[in-house]
């Protein structure tokens, strides 16, 4: 779960803090930097894979350090931050929204830690105006935690507390709409000094960045693993119950990725196996087969005690499962809890490191999380004597010719690319007639599935413009096919029929046929 540290660098953060130690003058900014270093130290021990970004703000915001796992870059930046002018929280949150959407999109849960001096910088009227201008709730799931670097009895904190509570509540409303019931909090220090603020940051870390350890079991094989990020309790629309992942995950079966498809996942987690130490070698030998020693420091299979002390050479069930799923092109169905399932697949990180690990996708609670498979609690082992026909209740129209692969429109540029592909084929008629209708069918089925009927109207208008813009010497087939395709997209008889397949126009004509405008009027 990526984290954004939103640090206030306004002039008020440079105020000196009274201290009994007169040898060193501390400011609120230096105390905040010590708290941030404590937070980074906690991540290095408990959640090394956490992505963290540092954003500073006053009247404007600046991305000091983009999302990274190199925490030393953030530590090196903290002493060299430049002071700003006044505090403007609404502008800072607007910049954070843009940063998160550009980097992670709309579905990745994010945490924001707002570190400020406990002052709004304005009076009561200005505070109410800020509360109305907050760019919250955002379009992505988020938890916002506030760490005011101020004494507990400071009057400025009492004045700013309604604003901070409003920020936390608005972010919590976004979580409830996405099925996540977790929420942020305000962590006020007991006293205005380094130990007091560091203690508040430590409470934040212990409550919001807990490790989640569980057992992954498949038959007689079992491994101790960590889920990253830690799963949160989930709820589902239409279901009043709250679902919590069990501490023992059971692999109940395997299915090919082609049959599984891409069911909606409410969260995704990396499976990190527990590091095996040399003290656990005997247990590993019992689990994976005993080795008869032949002489000191060696065994019958050629491995030595030195090899077994290396964690990378110790047998692990997660490594076995990852290799099997990757080679066979399959996924595992995992029981997460009562009436809750997930999928386990081999995953490779898209970075220079190219780390490979297991990825757990938590499906929506309930047995109908993947409708094309039927009820998940009724799946059974495949019958070896059965024929090769589909055994799942997969709708037959998915295998029709001309359907093409599915459309994934997670971001606007993906939708734009699919529409541009249709227009490129339209400009290359009549050679690309079959390709044009194949892409139109793919686009049409995806739009109907998502209830995006406006897209078909827009694509039809675009094809009409392409028809009207054809040169005088263009083949008459071009105008006829474009006009036919535009009319077919708007045909009320088949507008919402997902099983219907658009077919090219079968017509006989001569070169002396009518103009493109005439073809359009005739068919439309």
In a domain, 390, yes or no: no
Domain final residue, candidates 174, 208, 242? 208
In a domain, 295, yes or no: no
Give me the domain span that covers residue 480: 412-523
- Whole-angstrom distance, CA of residue 164 vs CA of residue 131: 9
pLDDT band at 257 (very low <50, low <70, confident <90, very high): confident
The answer to whether residues 109 and 142 touch, using CB atoms and an 8 Å cutoff, is yes
Query: Is 290 a residue whose pLDDT tops 50?
Result: no
Q: CA geometry: angle at 134 spanning 130 and 138, to 5°?
A: 170
pLDDT band at 180 (very low <50, low <70, confident <90, very high): low
Residues 356, 496 within the same domain: no
Query: Is 513 a residue whose pLDDT tops 90?
Result: no
Evaluate if pTM is beyond 0.75: no
Domain final residue, candidates 378, 396, 429? 378
Q: Can you give the pLDDT at residue 330?
A: 92
Residues 342, 235 within the same domain: yes
Name the least confident of 42-56, 272-286, 302-316, 412-426.
272-286
- Whole-angstrom distance, CA of residue 303 vs CA of residue 298: 6
Domain final residue, candidates 155, 179, 208? 208
Q: What is the CA radius of gyration of the chain?
A: 30
Q: Can you give the pLDDT at residue 66?
A: 95
Residue 173 neighbours by CB under 8 Å, 6+ apart? 137
Residues 228, 193 within the same domain: no
The answer to whether residues 404 and 439 touch, using CB atoms and an 8 Å cutoff, is yes
Residues 185, 120 within the same domain: yes
The answer to whether residues 138 and 171 touch, using CB atoms and an 8 Å cutoff, is yes
- Whole-angstrom distance, CA of residue 47 vs CA of residue 39: 11
Residues 60, 180 within the same domain: yes
Q: Can you give the pLDDT at residue 177?
A: 53
Residues forming a β-bridge with 298: 304
Q: What mean pLDDT comes out for the span 134-156?
A: 91
Residues 461, 498 within the same domain: yes
- Whole-angstrom distance, CA of residue 496 vs CA of residue 450: 11
Q: Please choose, from the candidates 81, 55, 82, 83, the residue with its C-alpha nearest in 3D space to the C-alpha of residue 68.
A: 55
Q: Can you give the pLDDT at residue 287?
A: 40
Residues 464, 353 within the same domain: no
Burial of 307 (0-12, 13-18, 19+ CB in 10 A): middle
Q: Can you give the pLDDT at residue 398?
A: 44
In a domain, 401, yes or no: no
Q: Look at the block and give the residue holding tokens 């607007």.
A: 94
The end-to-end CA distance of the chain, in Å, is 52
Query: Is 449 a residue whose pLDDT tops 60?
Result: yes
| DSSP letters spanning 3-67 | EEEEEE-SGGGG-EE--S-TTS-EEHHHHHHHHHHHHHHHHHHH-TT--EEEEEESSSEEEEEEE
State how many domains the chain has: 3
Residues 93, 204 within the same domain: yes
Query: Is 353 a residue whose pLDDT tops 80?
Result: no
Q: Can you give the pLDDT at residue 415?
A: 87
**Residue 481, SS3?**
helix
Query: Is 171 a residue whose pLDDT tops 60?
Result: yes
Q: What mean pLDDT comes out for the span 248-256?
A: 92
Name the least confident of 60-64, 90-94, 266-270.
266-270
- Residue 96 sits in a domain whose CATH number is 3.40.50.410
Cα within 13 Å of Cα(98), Cβ side: 9
In a domain, 297, yes or no: no
Residues 170, 281 within the same domain: no
Residue 278 neighbours by CB under 8 Å, 6+ apart? 305, 308, 309
Query: Is 219 a residue whose pLDDT tops 70?
Result: yes
Name the range with the highest mean pLDDT among 201-210, 289-298, 509-518: 201-210
Residues 193, 261 within the same domain: no
Residues 257, 368 within the same domain: yes
In whole numbers, what is the pLDDT of the chain averaged over residues?
81
In a domain, 344, yes or no: yes
**Residue 96, SS3?**
helix
In a domain, 389, yes or no: no
* 158-169 per-position pLDDT tens digit: 999 999 999 999
Q: What mean pLDDT comes out for the span 142-168?
A: 92
Residues 182, 224 within the same domain: no
In a domain, 249, yes or no: yes
Of all helices (H) and strands (E), which one includes residue 240? strand 239-243
- Residue 242 sits in a domain whose CATH number is 2.40.290.10
Query: Is 220 a residue whose pLDDT tops 80?
Result: yes
Name the least confident of 103-107, 154-158, 245-249, 252-256.
103-107
In a domain, 197, yes or no: yes
* 416-432 per-position pLDDT tens digit: 888 888 898 888 888 88
- Whole-angstrom distance, CA of residue 68 vs CA of residue 59: 25
Query: Is 296 a residue whose pLDDT tops 60?
Result: no
Residues forming a β-bridge with 115: 7, 147
Q: Can you give the pLDDT at residue 300?
A: 46
Q: Please choose, from the candidates 308, 330, 315, 321, the residue with its C-alpha nearest in 3D space to the C-alpha of residue 356.
A: 321
Q: Can you give the pLDDT at residue 197?
A: 94
């Amino acid at each position: 779960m990526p984290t954004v540290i939103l640090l206030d660098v306004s002039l008020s953060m440079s105020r000196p803090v009274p201290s009994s130690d007169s040898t060193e003058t501390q400011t609120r900014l230096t105390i905040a930097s010590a708290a941030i270093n404590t937070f980074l130290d906690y991540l290095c021990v408990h959640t090394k894979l956490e992505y963290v970004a540092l954003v500073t703000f006053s009247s404007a915001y600046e991305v000091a350090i983009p999302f990274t796992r190199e925490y030393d870059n953030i530590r090196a930046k903290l002493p060299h931050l430049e002071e700003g002018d006044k505090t403007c929280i609404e502008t800072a949150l607007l910049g954070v929204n843009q940063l998160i959407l550009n980097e992670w999109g709309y579905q990745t849960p994010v945490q924001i830690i707002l570190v400020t001096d406990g002052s709004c910088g304005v009076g009561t009227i200005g505070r109410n105006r800020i509360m109305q201008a907050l760019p919250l709730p955002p379009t992505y799931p988020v938890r916002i935690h506030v760490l005011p670097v101020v004494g507990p009895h400071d009057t400025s904190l009492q004045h700013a507390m309604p604003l901070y509570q409003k920020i936390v509540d608005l972010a919590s409303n976004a979580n409830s709409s996405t099925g996540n019931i977790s929420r942020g909090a305000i962590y006020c220090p007991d006293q205005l000094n380094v130990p007091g603020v560091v203690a508040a940051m430590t409470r934040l870390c212990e409550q919001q960045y807990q490790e989640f350890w569980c057992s992954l079991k498949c038959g007689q094989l079992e491994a101790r693993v960590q889920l990253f990020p830690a799963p949160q309790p989930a709820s589902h629309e239409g279901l009043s119950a709250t679902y919590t992942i069990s501490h023992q995950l059971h692999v109940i079966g395997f299915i090919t990725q082609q049959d599984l498809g891409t069911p909606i996942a409410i969260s995704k987690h990396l499976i990190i196996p527990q590091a095996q130490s040399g003290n656990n070698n005997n247990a590993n030998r019992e689990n994976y087969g005993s080795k008869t020693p032949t002489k000191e420091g060696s065994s019958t299979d050629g491995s030595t005690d030195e090899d077994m002390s290396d964690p990378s050479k110790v047998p692990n069930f997660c490594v076995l499962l990852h290799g099997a799923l990757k080679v066979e092109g399959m996924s595992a169905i995992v029981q997460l809890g009562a009436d809750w399932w997930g999928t386990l697949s081999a995953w490779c990180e898209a970075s220079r490191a190219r780390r490979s690990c297991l990825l757990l996708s938590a499906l929506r609670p309930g047995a109908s999380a993947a409708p094309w498979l039927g009820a998940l609690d009724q799946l059974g082992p495949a019958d070896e004597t059965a024929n090769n026909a589909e055994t799942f209740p997969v709708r037959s129209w998915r295998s029709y010719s001309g359907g093409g692969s599915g459309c994934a429109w997670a971001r606007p540029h993906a939708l734009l690319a699919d529409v541009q592909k249709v227009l490129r084929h339209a400009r290359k008629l009549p050679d690309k007639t079959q390709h044009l209708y194949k892409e139109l069918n793919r686009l049409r089925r995806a739009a109907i599935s998502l209830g995006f009927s406006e897209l078909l109207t827009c694509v039809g208008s675009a094809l009409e413009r392409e028809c009207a813009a054809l040169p005088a010497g263009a083949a008459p087939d071009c105008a006829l096919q474009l006009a036919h395709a535009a009319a077919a997209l708007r045909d009320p008889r088949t507008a919402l029929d997902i099983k219907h397949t658009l077919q090219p126009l079968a017509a006989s004509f001569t070169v002396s046929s009518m103009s493109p405008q005439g073809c359009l009027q005739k068919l439309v």
